[in-house]
């Protein structure tokens, strides 16, 4: 993965959001050690998928980006559900997200004859969504290099949608569109095909960035 490109996106979008939200920004911790990875895998009882593991080892063991959109910003109808920028990727977050996914799958979505329930299984949670949903890796589809998918607990439109064909592609795409929030309705405007994930070159991505760059209080 091009970590310099990721860093450039963090800096660029942080500068854009700070114009209207001085509290916005990001932080990232040092790279994870092999020992920290092993400890996390022991807590999970599972091995981290390769790209996720490499992200923590090669870039940061915790990355958090956050911003609120200005109240006066008028977004077109197809973008009006976006109210913030947000991402949280960390070793602890992965442990918590996977525990939550397992709980949902066991307690609520345990009917393997139900297509909706089945989506919750053979996944690996990597990020909790504020509304209770989960962003996960679809290890059932490709254990070695799984796509990133959205798991909704309340019949959300994005349930099962692919957010990125791989973890790296997801991270690159979400960074390019300004970390637009991780609830499904915030990301769906940037997904033209539910099988291929976020498209940072789509029309809505260009509109979103231009509106924020040109916005004046």
Average pLDDT, stretch 89-97?
98
Residue 65's beta-bridge partner residues?
26, 87
Tokens at residue 187, please? 């990301």
Rg of the Cα trace of the chain?
17
Q: Using CA atoms, how far apart are residues 77 and 182, in angstroms rounded to an integer?
A: 19
Q: pLDDT tens-digit profile of 114-152?
A: 999 999 999 999 999 999 999 999 999 999 999 999 999
Q: Using CA atoms, how far apart are residues 52 and 11, in angstroms rounded to an integer?
A: 22
Q: Using CA atoms, how far apart are residues 85 and 76, in angstroms rounded to an integer?
A: 17
pLDDT of 84 strictly over 90? yes
pLDDT of 112 reads: 96
Q: pLDDT tens-digit profile of 165-209?
A: 999 999 999 999 999 999 999 999 999 999 999 999 999 999 999
pTM across the whole model: 0.95
Enumerate domains of the chain plus CATH numbers.
3-214 (3.40.1580.10)
Tokens at residue 85, please? 């920028």
pLDDT of 217 strictly over 90? no
Give pairs for 144-147: CB < 8 Å, separation 24+.
Answer: 144/49, 144/50, 145/49, 145/50, 145/51, 146/49, 147/197
Which pLDDT band holds residue 71 (cuts at 50, 70, 90)? confident
């Amino acid at each position: 993965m091009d970590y310099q490109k990721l860093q450039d996106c963090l800096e660029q979008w942080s500068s854009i959001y700070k114009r209207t939200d001085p509290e916005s920004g990001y932080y990232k911790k040092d790279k994870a050690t092999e020992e920290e990875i092993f400890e996390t895998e022991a807590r999970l009882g599972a091995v981290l998928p390769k790209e996720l593991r490499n992200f923590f080892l090669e870039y940061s063991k915790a990355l958090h980006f956050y911003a609120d959109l200005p109240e006066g910003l008028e977004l077109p109808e197809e973008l009006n559900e976006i109210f913030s920028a947000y991402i949280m990727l960390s070793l602890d977050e992965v442990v918590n997200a996977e525990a939550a996914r397992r709980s949902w799958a066991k307690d609520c979505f345990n009917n393997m004859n139900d297509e909706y329930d089945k989506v919750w299984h053979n996944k690996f949670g990597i990020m909790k969504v504020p509304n209770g949903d989960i962003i996960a890796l679809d290890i059932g589809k490709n254990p070695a290099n799984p796509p990133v998918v959205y798991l909704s607990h309340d019949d959300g439109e994005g349930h099962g949608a692919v957010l990125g064909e791989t973890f790296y592609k997801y991270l690159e795409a979400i960074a390019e569109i300004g970390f637009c929030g991780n609830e499904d309705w915030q990301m769906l405007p940037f997904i033209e095909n539910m099988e291929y994930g976020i498209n940072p070159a789509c029309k809505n991505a260009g509109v979103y960035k231009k509106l924020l760059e040109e916005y004046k209080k």
